[in-house]
């Protein structure tokens, strides 16, 4: 099995199981089901569906959307796809004697095929198809209610426009109440470990911070064969490398007409602190004549980034009200965090042969930046471990904590509904762990964090070493296992 297969299919068991569950229901109940698959561009949505369809014995049709394609070409492509399939639909030759002239016509042909038994129909990049024919949503709803829902049809709609795919299921839309959502995220750290066999847990986390689990990047790293830092150096020397270009492909699709939101995203991603506050964001994008106008634009952009596109996460300290003014922002996607920090500002330098400047910037602060960028990943791992680890018994959330002046900060505060169960400090270095001074600082901070007087003190480092004065320790292997135990 090659690297692409390993990274994009074998390591997607959660998605594969979900699709199989939906297909089993269609076969057993002899009734239709629509699954709406969403995920950002380049995360491998189409590939995982293609692999799943190929693994079944069920006749199928896979219709790829083409951006900007006129309606008749879409229908011609959809008609040809019926016979081009690896397992064509029943009576495929008869169904395609003439091209479909409307989507209603095409759905009617699908219904004829489904009368002979279960079929799978995939409409890839469904938002593009809707753009070519705005009546498609309503036509699918009408034909689904009239014919297809009563036949064994697994209809899979795939879309990279995450916001649009989410809106499909909202009240007032034609397909409301008919869709079953399925999210295809990038590879998680455990899936990446399977795609990068032989690498230590610390190296897997390094790879995750750089690639964000995007299958194309993970595959490129696996084929490169060297360590993550060497891979970054080589990639920064090539303006066409996947590490340099993939983010641009994703972002161009996300921000075709929202330059203000893009500027805010870039300001957050490039910030030295990795999680800047509101004032840090506005000061980084000063291009307005009046501060009030700038703040209003930034507020609107942050709303788009956090609520509509989910590209930015708003952090508040543990035990603080979600509506409070003490908050920070970070780019949710690890790869985009890395890209804005080390690539976006250096693209022109790389293009004119000064890749040495990009490499030097990476080498200058990668060690400290890695230590900050890994913090939300560690917190997510601890939240996952809380389901089974007795040291985290009762924990429902894991947050950071910091003072208003930023002078005191705690990397990890694991909370139950009533108290802080654990306070942790993260020192993410290839060797070593927490020092006595680090533990003393954590102990002093315990007196300042609300509801934390009885909290355990946790040392978190790649080695998992337990220093004197700490109560518990977590290492890279254990943290990586948090995803392995949940993905099955």
Same domain, 309 and 274: yes
Residue 411 contacts residue 460 (beta carbons within 8 Å): yes
The pLDDT value recorded for residue 296 is 77
Same domain, 219 and 339: yes
Same domain, 410 and 276: no
Same domain, 321 and 197: yes
Same domain, 223 and 328: yes
Number of domains in the chain: 3
Same domain, 232 and 308: yes
How many C-beta neighbours within 10 Å does residue 166 have? Answer: 16
The pLDDT value recorded for residue 292 is 58
Same domain, 125 and 196: no
**Eight-class DSSP state of 273:** T
The pLDDT value recorded for residue 257 is 66
The pLDDT value recorded for residue 376 is 96
- Tell which residue, 254, 453, 410, has the closest CA to residue 339: 254
The pLDDT value recorded for residue 254 is 77
Q: What pTM does this model have?
A: 0.87
Which of 183, 215, 248 is a domain's end point?
183
The CATH number assigned to the domain holding 106 equals: 3.40.50.300
The pLDDT value recorded for residue 11 is 52
The pLDDT value recorded for residue 274 is 58
Which of 134, 159, 183 is a domain's end point?
183
Same domain, 38 and 177: yes
Two tokens, residue 41: 């561009």
Integer Cα distance of 138 and 120 in angstroms: 20
Per DSSP bridges, beta strands 472-474 and 312-315 are unpaired
pLDDT, tens digit (0-9, with 9 covering 90-100), for 91-109: 999 999 998 999 999 999 9
The pLDDT value recorded for residue 298 is 79
pLDDT, tens digit (0-9, with 9 covering 90-100), for 105-129: 999 999 999 999 999 999 999 999 9
Same domain, 159 and 109: yes
Which of 183, 216, 247 is a domain's end point?
183
Same domain, 152 and 100: yes
- Boundaries of domain holding 423: 375-487
Same domain, 251 and 156: no
Strand (E) or helix (H) holding 445:
helix 436-446
Q: Which residues contact 329 (CB under 8 A, 6 or more apart)?
A: 268, 275, 276, 277, 278, 281, 302, 306, 312, 313, 314, 315
The CATH number assigned to the domain holding 436 equals: 3.40.1350
Same domain, 195 and 153: no
pLDDT lower than 70: segments of the chain: 1-11, 256-258, 272-277, 279-294, 485-488
């Amino acid at each position: 099995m090659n690297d692409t297969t390993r990274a994009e299919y074998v390591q997607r068991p959660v998605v594969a199981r979900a699709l199989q569950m939906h297909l089993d229901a269609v076969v057993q109940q002899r009734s239709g089901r629509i699954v709406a698959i969403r995920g950002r561009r380049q995360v491998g949505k189409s590939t995982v569906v293609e692999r799943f369809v190929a693994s079944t014995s069920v006749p199928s049709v896979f219709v790829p959307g083409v951006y900007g394609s006129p309606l008749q070409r879409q229908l011609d492509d959809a008609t040809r796809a019926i016979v081009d399939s690896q397992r064509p639909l029943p009576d495929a030759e008869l169904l395609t004697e003439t091209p479909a002239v409307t989507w209603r016509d095409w759905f009617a042909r699908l219904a004829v095929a489904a009368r002979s038994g279960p079929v799978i129909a995939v409409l890839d990049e469904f938002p593009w198809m809707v753009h070519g024919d705005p009546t498609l949503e309503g036509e699918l709803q009408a034909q689904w209610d009239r014919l297809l829902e009563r036949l064994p049809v697994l209809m899979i709609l795939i879309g990279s426009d995450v916001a649009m795919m989410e809106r499909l299921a909202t009240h007032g839309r034609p397909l409301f109440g008919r869709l079953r959502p399925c999210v295809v995220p990038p590879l998680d750290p455990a899936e990446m470990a399977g795609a990068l066999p032989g690498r230590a847990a610390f190296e897997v986390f390094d790879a995750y911070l750089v690639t964000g689990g995007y299958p194309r990047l993970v595959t490129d790293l696996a084929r490169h064969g060297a360590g993550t830092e060497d891979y970054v150096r080589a990639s920064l020397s090539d303006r066409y490398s996947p590490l340099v270009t993939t983010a641009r492909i994703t972002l161009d699709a996300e921000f075709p007409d929202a330059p203000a939101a893009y500027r805010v995203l870039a300001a957050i991603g490039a910030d030295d602190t990795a999680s800047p506050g509101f004032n840090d964001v506005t000061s980084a994008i000063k291009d307005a004549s009046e501060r009030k106008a700038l703040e209003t634009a930034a507020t609107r952009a942050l709303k788009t980034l956090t609520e509509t596109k989910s590209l930015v996460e708003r952090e508040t300290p543990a035990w603080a009200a979600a509506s409070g003014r003490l908050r920070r922002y970070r780019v949710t996607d690890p790869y985009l965090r890395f890209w804005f920090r080390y690539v976006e500002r250096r693209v022109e330098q790389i293009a004119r042969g000064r890749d040495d400047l990009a490499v030097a910037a990476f080498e200058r602060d990668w060690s400290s930046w890695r230590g900050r960028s890994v913090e939300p990943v560690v917190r997510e791992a601890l939240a996952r471990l809380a389901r089974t680890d007795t040291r985290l018994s009762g924990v429902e959330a894991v947050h950071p904590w910091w003072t208003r002046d930023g002078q005191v900060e705690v990397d990890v505060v694991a909370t139950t509904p009533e108290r802080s169960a654990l306070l942790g400090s993260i020192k993410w270095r290839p060797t070593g762990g927490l020092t006595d001074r680090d533990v003393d600082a954590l102990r002093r901070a315990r007196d300042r964090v609300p509801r934390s007087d009885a909290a355990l003190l946790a040392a978190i480092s790649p080695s998992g070493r337990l220093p004197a004065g700490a109560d518990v320790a977590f290492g890279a292997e254990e943290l990586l296992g948090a995803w392995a135990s949940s993905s099955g």
